[in-house]
Amino acid sequence: MSTPMLYQSTRGHGVQLTAGQAIAQGLAPDGGLYVPVAMPSFELSAFDGANTLPEVAERFLKPFFAGCELEARVPEICADAFNFPVEVLNLPPRDGGRQFLLELFHGPTAAFKDFGARFLAACMERLPHAPDRRTTILVATSGDTGGAVAAAFHGRPWVRVVVLFPKGLVSPRQEKQLTCWGDNIQSLSVRGTFDDCQRMVKEAFADAALREQHALTSANSINLGRLLPQATYYAWASLRHFRQYGTKPNFIIPSGNLGNSMACLWARAAGLPIGEVVLAHNANRTVLDFLTSGDWQPRNSTATLASAMDVGNPSNMERLRQMHPALEAVRGAVHATTTSDAAIQHYIVAEKAVHGEVFCPHTAVAADAWQQLSPEQRAQDWMWVATAHAAKFPETVEPLAGPVPVPPALARLLDLPSHATEVDATLAALTMQLNAVG
């Protein structure tokens, strides 16, 4: 094996781990998130002859897995995980620039989280498993993560998955995807917000005895195995664009917990041809306020039509601030916007009228963020990231844009019975459920 690529906690404590070890552990023991000790650097010629997403992903991920037990298996992991399309749609040009839609919702649960969840499952399937106990994955979800993780890990005998979601704060179809599995998947409807769910997971990881007893690991974007595969579609899309147009595309990313955004920033830091990155938020404006004032002030999340982005204390901000410790460096790395529910509704209607495509509420946030750019910025090449299929949000979308056909994979899930347990937003309640299922 080659010289190992090592990962350390954002908080600088503890030993350095290989990719496989960091993925298996999930969250660092000191509560930090794993980041590369040194980011690899690519020349674009390294991707010559690589055109499909699995081909680009294999070359992009190889140095990130250097020296670990998964290194030789990266090609088969990519082939297993990325077996559904990613598409780029040309939008009608406006204001002199080119606009594109990076569609990431063609996987089994119709959301971009399928990329990370399936890759993580393929990695963990190939890591050693203790014969006398199962790994327990804890996943907090604001809508799409839990369904993607449940789909990726369902029926695997070496693992159990406990999904925590905020009661009444996800769409009915999202909730169906979180609760339709049974078997090795347990769904907890938490009396609280997504931030409460995320706090409960972090508190469980901070309890050393609980972590050891249940062999806990994570499947949120705090896990390295979720973030790295998301970087691959930014590598693929930017290479495709650069080869065709000779320019670096800019990206507008609907942002909640910032995992998808950090994936793009890691791809750019590794040398991929990516221009500006805009973090498009709904009414949860914690990140924008930080960029404006310099004060990091997490707060309770606000419920919006773009529910998967209802995050008031995004975990991956820790990775962003570790990557760019100075405030001015963060401001130079990203821009941020916020969008109201009224604007979300407006752009669902307006974008269907412009190009005939129906946006989900989160993608509508990206459309509004583009409109907030200066005329000079809008004259550049922009990719709006479409994170979920509109059929997941019929209560919001269909009164504005008419009936939305349901993708076959999603339709199959909607016919299954639901299983969920309602719990308080406390570590004690989570511990009781862990002990009950374990």
**CA distances in angstroms from 125 to 34, 92, 225, 365, listed in the order given:** 20, 43, 12, 36
Mean local confidence (pLDDT), 288-304 = 94
Mean pLDDT of 303-307: 93
Residue 1 has pLDDT above 60, yes or no: no
Residue of 185, 175, 183, 125 whose CA lies nearest to 149: 185
Q: Is pLDDT of 437 > 70?
A: no
88 has pLDDT over 90: yes
- Residue 170, pLDDT above cutoff 70: yes
User: Could you confirm whether domain 84-112+225-405 is CATH 3.40.50.1100?
Assistant: yes
* Segment of 91-105, 147-161, 338-352 carrying the highest mean pLDDT: 338-352
In tens, the pLDDT along 375-403 reads 999 999 999 999 999 998 999 999 999 99
pLDDT at position 372:
97
Residue 81 has pLDDT above 80, yes or no: yes
pLDDT of 149 above 70 = yes
How far apart, in whole angstroms, are the C-alpha atoms of residue 88 and residue 241?
10
Cβ-Cβ contacts under 8 Å for 25 (sequence gap 6 or more): 17, 34, 217
CB 111 within 8 A of CB 105: yes
- Joined together, the tokens standing for residue 189 give 């409807």
pLDDT of amino acid 438: 52
Average pLDDT over residues 354-374: 94
pLDDT tens for each residue of 248-258? 999 999 999 99
At 232-270, the pLDDT tens digits run 999 999 999 999 999 999 999 999 999 999 999 999 999
| pTM given for the model | 0.91
pLDDT in tens, 188-244: 999 999 889 989 998 998 899 999 999 898 887 789 999 999 999 999 999 999 999
pLDDT of residue 145: 81
Q: How confident is the model at residue 112 (pLDDT cuts 50, 70, 90)?
A: very high
**pLDDT given at position 230:** 97
422-428, long-range: CB < 8 A, 24+ apart? 422/167, 422/188, 422/189, 422/191, 423/188, 423/189, 423/190, 423/191, 424/190, 424/191, 424/192, 425/190, 425/191, 425/192, 425/193, 425/196, 425/197, 425/199, 425/200, 426/200, 427/200, 427/203, 427/204, 427/207
Is the distance from CB of 277 to CB of 250 less than 8 angstroms?
yes
| Residues catalogued as catalytic | 113
- The Cα 419–Cα 437 span in angstroms is 14
Residue 17 has pLDDT above 80, yes or no: yes
Q: Give the confidence band of 101 by pLDDT, cuts at 50, 70, 90.
A: very high
Q: What is the rounded CA–CA span in Å between residue 298 and residue 91?
A: 36
For residue range 397-423, what is the model confidence (pLDDT) as tens digits?
Answer: 999 999 999 999 888 888 889 989 999
Q: Express each pLDDT in 113-132 by its tens digit.
A: 999 999 999 999 998 877 77
Residue 67 pLDDT greater than 70, yes or no = yes
| Mean pLDDT to the nearest integer, 416-435 | 94
Q: Give the rounded percent of residues in the chain with a pLDDT score beyond 70.
A: 99
What's the Cα-to-Cα distance from 344 to each of 57, 221, 403, rounded to whole Å?
Answer: 33, 25, 18
